[in-house]
Amino acid sequence: MKFDMNRAWRDASEMVIANREVLLIVAGLFFFLPGLAAVLLIPSMQPPAEIKESEAIAFMTQFYTDNALWIILLAVVQTVGVLTLLGLLRGHAKPTVGDALKAGIVGILPYLGAQILFSLGVAAILGLLIGVAMATGLKLLIAVAAIATFILLVYALIKISLVPAVIAIERVTNPVTVLLRSWSLTKGNSFRLLLFYALLLIVFIVITAVIGAISGLLLALVGTGAASTIGEAIVSGLLGAIVTVYFVAILASIHRQLAGPSAEMIGRTFE
């Protein structure tokens, strides 16, 4: 099936509007509040002005080591939120929030397993490609290998972009099957999906930049201190929650297009 970008955006917008009440609750719990907490609890990564390149890596390593617990906890909570939203938006049995939440919690392990398998496979293949190029010592070959590695990585990320939808909507729990299913669903539409994701990224960046700039000017009137910090955290949390909800709805819409109606939905049509 040929992927239709206009249809994907239209369907995603309709999903958000039709389910705005429940989405507001789930987004608040899993995206806004955790995002707000992250801004307030995790310090911004601001290296010293004249830090050396050799010290930059050590600085970043120390930053992530010091904040690993919060970062991991935030990632887990938001992943459960994504899986829960997908189940609510595309659940054929009209699940309750509680049912979707349970499915989201159960789905965290298959999701983690799929990500680990994907990361290991990509690291092995791309590492071998770069390693062979570096072994030759030819700068041109190394540059070509680096470009090829980037292209292959982007391609692979597009191919597994429907992993959350496969887990939450189709209730597939085998990580290998999840990866293969996502790869199969995106077959023949990789370039269209890449273009669609790129356009969405640009739009989201522009919108968040504009809103961030306006809110920054307004918060500057408040001055510095706790009030300004909390205000920035609230704006950041709201933007993050809205963007995430629309992105999840887009994933659900893409899955609907490429996977088609389930056997259950077809059966209901003739009941």
Output the pLDDT for position 155.
94
| pTM attached to this predicted model | 0.83
Output the pLDDT for position 268.
38
Domain ranges of the chain: 5-44+57-263
Q: Which residues of the chain have pLDDT under 50?
A: 263-271
Output the pLDDT for position 267.
39
Output the pLDDT for position 234.
84
Output the pLDDT for position 265.
43
Output the pLDDT for position 152.
92
Output the pLDDT for position 224.
66
Q: With beta carbons less than 8 A apart as the criterion, state whether 137 and 73 touch.
A: no
Q: With beta carbons less than 8 A apart as the criterion, state whether 15 and 249 touch.
A: yes
